Chain A
Amino acid sequence: MPIQGEIHRSTYYDSVALMLAQREARDQPGVEDVGVVMATDANKEILRAGGLEFPGLAGARADDLAIVARAASEEEARAAAAFAMQVLTRRRVSTAGDAYRPKTVASAARALPEATIVLISVPGRFAHSVAREALDAGLHVLLFSDNVPIEHEIALKARGREQGLLMMGPDCGTAIIGGAALGFANQVRAGRIGLVGAAGTGLQEVASLIHRLGGGITHAIGTGGRDLSSAVGGVTMLAGLRALELDPGTEVIVLVSKPPAPEVAGRILAAAAACGKPVVAAFVGATVEPTGQVQGATTLEEAAIRAVQLACGTEAALPPMRSLPEQEAGRLSTDQRYLRGLYSGGTLCYEALVLLRPHLGAIYSNSPADPSEALEPVTRSREHTVIDMGGDEFTQGRLHPMLDPTLRLARLRQEAADPETAIVLLDVVLGYAAHPDPAGALAPVIREVREQASREGRHLIVAGSVCGTDDDPQNAGAQRAVLVEAGVLVEESNARAVHLARLIATRQGKREVRSMRKVVAAAAATTAWPEVGRVSALLGARPAVINVGLDLFAESLQAQGVPVVSVDWQPPAGGKQHLLDLLDKLEG
């Protein structure tokens, strides 16, 4: 097939802009595959591996833009490449307008003097200096970027603590501050429950379920996935906990995380016990010893239910499970023995793993609960497999599955074609910045693969849940209806979808294993509270945001009516490392 490739010298676009252009160009007539990438060595390798090598690629440099298309005809390939460039430049123009776009946090702060938070989503190696500039300017930070070295995280959080500022992240995907959804977050009713979470989709699930149960939240503070590691020590969770303790609107606090380092969990739980407000700790995969007003929750759903009960004083419950597992399982053929989970939300995937393992035995995964269950290669499922499609293995040079369903759809076809697959488990994550219609993208493929299986004499079960609220731009109710229409067994929460899948799978063969649940308990001594006066000020008002990185986040804030200024960010010193080293030396 003809390939058309071009190199644009010294032309930088951020990876999401590139991937959006790639996605759109791929839909052009006759196109088989498209690459729109910065010509880094890693990306050049990806293009080669994908059969998208072209003359000139080898000589391109990391700050050059490479566009390549393979299509049925040369004309179509050329048109697709030109279209990709158009998409890139069109995005630029539409955001530039007449007004000046500041190039640094400092000048953005001047343009939006009421700004309180800087939302940073630049590539990880550049994130530290932007976050540092923000903290030095007295601004709170939500650092979305991942691949930030842990020593940078430690230094930034120390600086934040020193300044009394909230340093959310790195790798913090979700926060809701004063009703404003930052990053990937949902439109959740205002209420009396405050959340602090080290797990993005964990926060989204708990917040959405609180909304579903009739409750509401004050704030959802993100900490970043590594906050509760020994090295980082829970600095941000402690600050968030303290701020929610002092927040007059918050009556109940929920902590959400994957299992923390035991000593960090001890410190956090001791602080929680001392805080004077009821606290629900959902450390998915670990059991929390109750202490004083602190209680544990085994699932994200349970955390939401307990929090709503504490806040409203009434019994809260989701409607009973709709499906009949026995009946579903009875329709499976004898070869259909395995469960295949295809997740877009990392915490939801992890919750599935820890809920399934005690009943189904080994669950293979790219983010396994036990190293012996690592899936190798990640492209081929094995027995019971649950995959985090948002893991690094699947997002190199691609958009996250919450934005681009392409890879998950391909994997869905692959699993559906496997005669051993009994049930496919899915999540659909809604909210600001997520795909505008994820259920709509999944439904036709689900319908198609179930019909195909049925022609082959198999009954393929697809179960899942929708993480989001009816107030989200995508509308959770409508998304559920689309999935139900496509034949998906839709449950009210991830825990329930997992439960249903588990009941069906165990009917096909039980292999119970004794899995040791981690138990965490409050430490004897309490840690001194950090100073959070400025965090309280942040929580006391609707935020105004400086966005550095993905335009997507600025657009979602605009849609919510949150004042936002976008920094027209470019890699510092053109990304030249030796100059960056000199600058570090001269800026101290």
Chain B
Amino acid sequence: MDINAANQEAMGRVLTAQPVLVGVGRALDLIPGMSLDLILHAGPPITWERMSGPLRGAIIGGLILEGRAGTEAEATALVERGGVRFEPCHHHAAVGPMAGVTTASMPVYVIENRAAGNRAYSNFNEGYGKVLRYGAYSEDVLARLRWINGTLAPAVGDALQRAGGLDMKAMIAQQLTMGDEGHNRNRAGSAIFGRLLAPHLARGGLSPEVLEQVLRYFADNDLAVLNPVMAACKATMDAAHGIAGSTVVTCMARNGTDFGIRVSGLGDRWFTALATVPVGLYFPGFSAADANPDIGDSTITETAGIGAFAMAAAPAIVKFVGGTPAEAAAATLEMYEITVGENPAFGLPPLDFRGTPTGIDIRKVVRTGITPRVNTGIAHRMPGIGQVGAGLVRPPMACFEQALEAMADLAT
């Protein structure tokens, strides 16, 4: 087994990936294996008993949204008598931020990787405040989801049709030169997203009131592009998965209880360990005591070489890494120590347009003792309260050590 050759193959597939946002549709219709009794969630597999507050809250909200329960109590009872199946988004070529809860009737973005032909999916971003992805399920949260479902998604889908799709790789490359790192900061990317869609939305025959609502969604939500970015990363990394002998990490994800990774040459196995609480800055009135352990599929961005790996590109959020642009550059430089190569498509201006560190090699992680950096939002540990801060987290080393052991077993 030639590991280096296998990793080069994996890298080749990452570098040549062409993720294009081609459209919008219903999860049930598009996501492979989706069914009415199935709820997708972030991170590795988990049982209801072990789920954290925000994930449970999001599932309750999802069941109410789907009309399968009217109240929290009904939803809980339905789950407890086995009426709901849970599976990771990652098992269905999908990703979702924070709780990542995706139900059958929800609209999803469709990303097509035009190099490898695979597709990936992600739900819509709800914006800030009380939102389902942080476990909130009050009536206003559900109303917002219904508006996304009934109004925003069709409008965006329609605009994308007329636009002929949106080249996500080019979009990400641009946002990295405009102060985004693609995970915690997506302000520039969301602006580009809205700008590119705007003329096509204008021709969609929407009433002025509806058009205003849709445009305001893009005007107000700096995270609007996060979900398609994540799906683009997912489509990219899925193409690099399943190469015999490759030690490249193709997925990192958290469910609020466990952190899990998957490795290209190790099939569908998850290597998990308990998720930790991110180290970060908290919104006024909150502290680390309020924080839920790390949650969300958004770590797919770091897996694909952006997010915290592109920290050097995002001077506006250097407070998360100590406060100076030099520290932000150092954060990216550290990630080159554990990656197979660089992605020249994503040049970082502060590093003389050096490509982002790409393709985490579990061997390098274990040898150097450097775990990947992850930029992340921090959820309140109680359902329904929402985001309480943002910061930095690293996966437990145990995930990588277990994967290394599994790879060594295969090699014998």
Spell out A's residues near B (CB within 8 Å): 98-100, 102-104, 106-107, 110, 570, 572-574, 579, 582-583, 585-588
Contact = CB atoms under 8 A, between A and B. Distances in A.
A122 B366 CA distance: 18
Given A98-B324, A585-B411, A586-B3, A107 B405 contact: no
Contact of B337 (A102, A582, A583, A586): A102
Contact of A98 (B3, B326, B401): B326
B369 interface: yes
A497 to B, nearest CB: 48
A587 B2 CA distance: 9
A525 to B, nearest CB: 41
B368 interface: yes
A572 B324 CA distance: 29
Contact of B366 (A98, A107, A583): A583
28 contacts: A98-B324, A99-B326, A99-B330, A100-B329, A100-B334, A102-B333, A102-B337, A103-B337, A103-B368, A103-B370, A107-B333, A107-B336, A107-B337, A570-B368, A572-B367, A573-B366, A573-B369, A579-B366, A579-B401, A579-B404, A582-B366, A582-B408, A583-B366, A583-B404, A585-B408, A586-B363, A586-B407, A587-B363
A574 B369 contact: yes
Interface of B: 3, 247, 324, 326-327, 329-330, 333-334, 336-337, 363, 366-370, 401, 404-405, 407-408, 411
Closest 3 CB pairs of A and B: A100-B330, A100-B333, A582-B408
A110 B329 CA distance: 15
Contacts of A100: 326, 329-330, 333-334
Contacts of A102: 333, 337
B303 to A, nearest CB: 20
A585 B412 CA distance: 9
A586 B408 contact: yes
A521 to B, nearest CB: 48
B327 A582 contact: no
A583 B363 CA distance: 7
Contacts of A99: 326, 330
A26 B324 CA distance: 38
A103 B334 contact: yes
Contacts of B405: 582
A102 B335 CA distance: 10
A98 B327 contact: yes
A583 B404 CA distance: 8
A197 B167 CA distance: 63
A572 B337 CA distance: 13
Given A579-B404, A586-B408, A104 B366 contact: no
A104 B330 contact: no
A296 B336 CA distance: 52
A527 to B, nearest CB: 35
B367 A573 contact: yes
Contact of A583 (B333, B334, B367, B370): B367
Contacts of A110: 336
Contacts of B366: 573, 579, 582-583
Nearest to B336: A107
A572 B366 CA distance: 8
A104 B369 contact: no
B411 A586 contact: yes
Contact of B404 (A107, A572, A582): A582
Nearest to B408: A582
Contacts of B326: 98-100
Contacts of A107: 333, 336-337
Contacts of A106: 337
Contacts of A587: 3, 363
Contacts of B334: 100, 103
A588 B404 CA distance: 14
A586 B369 contact: no
A104 B365 CA distance: 12
Contacts of B408: 582, 585-586
A217 to B, nearest CB: 38
A104 B337 contact: yes
B390 to A, nearest CB: 23
Contacts of A588: 3
A570 B337 CA distance: 13
Nearest to B412: A585
Given A104-B368, A107-B333, 11 more contacts: A98-B327, A98-B330, A100-B326, A102-B337, A103-B334, A103-B370, A104-B337, A570-B368, A570-B369, A572-B368, A586-B3
Nearest to B329: A100
Contact of A586 (B329, B336, B370, B404): B404
A588 to B, nearest CB: 8
Contacts of A570: 368-369
Residue with the highest number of chain B CB atoms closer than 10 Å, among A102, A572, A579:
A579
Contacts of B363: 583, 586-587
B342 to A, nearest CB: 11
Contacts of B333: 100, 102, 107
Contacts of B368: 103-104, 570, 572
Contacts of B336: 107, 110
A509 B405 CA distance: 68
A120 to B, nearest CB: 16
Residue with the highest number of chain A CB atoms closer than 10 Å, among B247, B327, B363, B369:
B369
A586 B364 CA distance: 11
A400 B405 CA distance: 39
A269 to B, nearest CB: 43
Contacts of B247: 586
A99 B337 CA distance: 16
Contacts of A103: 334, 337, 368, 370
B248 to A, nearest CB: 13
A74 B58 CA distance: 56
Contacts of B337: 102-104, 106-107
Contacts of B330: 98-100
A104 B367 CA distance: 10
B291 to A, nearest CB: 23
Contacts of A582: 366, 404-405, 407-408
A272 B326 CA distance: 53
A99 to B, nearest CB: 7
B310 to A, nearest CB: 15
A137 to B, nearest CB: 14
Residue with the highest number of chain A CB atoms closer than 10 Å, among B247, B327, B401:
B401
A98 B369 CA distance: 21
Residue with the highest number of chain B CB atoms closer than 10 Å, among A107, A572, A573:
A573
A110 B405 CA distance: 30
A312 to B, nearest CB: 50
Contacts of A104: 337, 368
Contacts of A585: 408, 411
Contacts of B370: 103
A574 B3 CA distance: 23
Contacts of A98: 324, 326-327, 330
B59 to A, nearest CB: 37
Nearest to A99: B326
Nearest to A572: B367
B406 to A, nearest CB: 10
A104 B3 CA distance: 20
A38 to B, nearest CB: 15
Nearest to A110: B336
B94 to A, nearest CB: 31
Contacts of A586: 3, 247, 363, 404, 407-408, 411
Contacts of B411: 585-586
Nearest to A579: B366
A583 B361 CA distance: 12
B400 to A, nearest CB: 10
Contacts of B327: 98
B150 to A, nearest CB: 49
Residue with the highest number of chain A CB atoms closer than 10 Å, among B330, B368, B407:
B368
A269 B183 CA distance: 66
Nearest to A129: B367
